[in-house]
Amino acid sequence: MHFGLRTRVALAFGLLSLLIAGVVSVATYGLARWYLLEQRESAALSRAVLDSRAVAASLDSGSLPSTALEQVPSVGTSQPMVLTNGVWYTTSVTVPPNELPQDLLVASAGGGAQQRAEINGEPYFLVAVDLQGATYVEVFPLRDLDLILTIGGWLFVIQTLLAGALGVLIGRYTVGQLLRPLRRLREGAESVAGGDFAARITLANDPDLDPLADSFNEMAQAVASRIQRERRFSANVSHELRSPLTSVVGTAELLDRRREILPDREAGLVRVLVEQVHRMSQMLLDLLEISRIGGDENLQWESVDLSMLCHDVVRVRGLSEHLVTGDSPIVRTDARRFERIVGNLIDNAQRHGTGVEQVLIQRHPESVHVCVDDAGPGVNPASLERLLEPFTRGEEAALVERGTNVSGKDVTNSASLDGRSSGAGLGLAIAAEQANLLGARLHVMASPYGGSRFVIEIPVRGGADLEPDA
């Protein structure tokens, strides 16, 4: 699993905060536990020594052991007891004498001893003092201190987890602040890639980030200037060539009308001349159109019945209207530009795909697809992106060169395969540019007929631009 930069940094902040808080909590808890136990044991030891002296003085005066134990002041919940002549005397039975650790009694011989022990599941601090002819033992319960330490330990655990969570939040916020300029840069790059060459990044008065924004703005300006120069150059060249080309076309057509009276050789030359002149004329018209796309964005938005529009495009080209199948959605678009897109795709299928097989209209929840299928040789997957670039011709991206296509249909005599295609490689580029201008997307995939399927994907923003079928 690969996490994004923001998640990775947030997790790193969280783990670092967790580690630091854990170390601090463990150190603090250990120090507090040691200090509190040390203080409790020191106070208990001092009291036990004082109480043992009072009991020893009472025993020396001839008092009974039970009477001597009454000399011990009742402070807290400690339990005093005396062992004399093999008999234990005590003021309570919270801790039975027989439960006392034997090593404590042995160690107390000739002086005194202290020990922390657990009796019947409860923690105690035991102090044993050797008296002449007797042994004094005082038991101090540590349950209250143990409870305090347990609660404190859990509070430290919760504090550590909260510190880790806070670290994650701080990491996400910090990375969000750091990535905000990069998001602006990404949005600007996407706008430029989408054809909005006027997109610029606003400076944030940050000495570290403003140079990056300046560089991007300069790059966008350079790209826009270069594209405008190329478009102006194409438009100027095409415009300057139209006048002489019109004369050439007129002369060629005049010669073509008199071709019957010419010798066979000259008649063949005239036929080739007419074909090439018309091809050049169409190429100049395409160049003029592709140079105007993006500069003339006066779109005429209207409600269009896609099925009727596709029927008109097919009928104008002398094809059967039965080729148009599928749904009949009504969408808001520029009918003239959309008609040009569909027409270019059909012309491409006629020239390079052995003829159009189907124009399929599919309605989806958030988009409408218009698919133009052919049964040609198909498209090399490595050439898909280049196929929609200007001057890329069908034979340059063909899946096979001769023989049959992937569906078994004979394409040996296809114009796209024998080098006699009449296209200049601008039709698909114009269709792609027009689709981008309309907010649609043009892409190509394999066709069920064995050739290529060109799909115009029209987003309808959750149905906002999609009207009920007529």
Distance CA 344, CA 331 (A): 20
3-class secondary structure, 357: strand
285 and 357 together in one domain: no
Task: Please tell me which residue, 409 or 141, carries the higher pLDDT value.
Answer: 141
**How big is the CA angle at 54 (ends 53 and 55), to the nearest 5 degrees?**
90
Q: Which tens digit of pLDDT belongs to each residue from 428-458?
A: 877 888 888 888 888 888 888 888 889 999 9
Place of tokens 């169409």: 282
Domain boundary among 292, 311, 334: 292
Percent of the chain scoring above 90 in pLDDT: 12
Task: Evaluate if residue 462 carries a pLDDT over 50.
Answer: no
Residue 437 lies in a domain: yes
Task: Please tell me which residue, 192 or 151, carries the higher pLDDT value.
Answer: 151
Strands 466-467, 330-334: pairing is antiparallel
Domain count, the chain: 3
pLDDT at 6 (0 to 100): 76
- Cα distance from N-terminal residue to C-terminal residue, the chain: 48
Q: Which tens digit of pLDDT belongs to each residue from 217-233?
A: 888 888 878 877 877 77
pLDDT range class, residue 69, cuts 50, 70, 90: confident
Distance CA 299, CA 447 (A): 31
335 and 273 together in one domain: no
Residue 159 lies in a domain: no
Paired residues of 92 in beta bridges: none
34 and 86 together in one domain: yes
Residue 161 lies in a domain: no
What is the arithmetic mean of pLDDT over 92-96? Answer: 82
Residue 229 lies in a domain: yes
Tell me the angle at which helices 335-352 and 306-316 cross, rounded to the nearest 10 degrees.
50
Task: Evaluate if residue 313 carries a pLDDT over 70.
Answer: yes
Lowest-pLDDT choice from 188-197, 266-275, 317-326, 340-349: 188-197
Task: Evaluate if residue 405 carries a pLDDT over 50.
Answer: no
318 and 440 together in one domain: yes
Strands 330-334, 301-305: pairing is antiparallel
The Cβ-side half-sphere exposure at 440, using a 13 Å CA radius, reads 26
Residue 163 lies in a domain: no
Residue 184 lies in a domain: no
Q: Residue 58: give its domain's CATH number.
A: 3.30.450
How does the average pLDDT of the chain come out, rounded? Answer: 79
- Can you point out the beta strands (E) in 2-86? 79-84
Q: Which tens digit of pLDDT belongs to each residue from 337-390?
A: 899 899 889 988 888 777 899 999 999 888 999 999 988 877 766 666 666 665
380 and 424 together in one domain: yes
Task: Evaluate if residue 418 carries a pLDDT over 60.
Answer: no
Amino acid at position 137, single letter: V
Task: Evaluate if residue 129 carries a pLDDT over 70.
Answer: yes
Q: For 281, left (φ over 0), alpha (ψ -120 to 50), or beta?
A: alpha
pLDDT range class, residue 403, cuts 50, 70, 90: very low
pTM of the model: 0.48
463 and 389 together in one domain: yes
Between the CA of residue 455 and those of 213, 291, 355, 412, what are the distances in Å? Answer: 37, 24, 16, 26
Q: Residue 336: give its domain's CATH number.
A: 3.30.565.10
Look up the domain containing 237 and give its range: 210-292
72 and 122 together in one domain: yes
Distance CA 211, CA 311 (A): 54
288 and 306 together in one domain: no
What is the arithmetic mean of pLDDT over 95-114? Answer: 84
Q: Cα 142 vs. chain centroid, distance in angstroms?
A: 55
430 and 331 together in one domain: yes
253 and 333 together in one domain: no
260 and 334 together in one domain: no
Task: Evaluate if residue 132 carries a pLDDT over 70.
Answer: yes
Domain boundary among 148, 169, 199: 148
Tell me the angle at which helices 264-292 and 427-437 cross, rounded to the nearest 10 degrees.
20
Residue 204 lies in a domain: no
pLDDT at 455 (0 to 100): 92
Domain boundary among 122, 148, 174: 148
Task: Please tell me which residue, 193 or 433, carries the higher pLDDT value.
Answer: 433
Task: Evaluate if residue 161 carries a pLDDT over 60.
Answer: yes
Q: What is the torsional sign of CA 255, 260, 261, 262?
A: positive
Residue 458 lies in a domain: yes
pLDDT at 370 (0 to 100): 94
pLDDT at 410 (0 to 100): 45
What is the arithmetic mean of pLDDT over 318-334? Answer: 90
Q: Residue 250: give its domain's CATH number.
A: 1.10.287.130
Lowest-pLDDT choice from 77-86, 251-260, 343-352, 402-411: 402-411
User: Whose CA is closest to 345, among 367, 325, 374?
Assistant: 374
Distance CA 294, CA 170 (A): 44
374 and 418 together in one domain: yes
- Dihedral angle over CA of 388, 393, 399, 400, nearest 10: 180
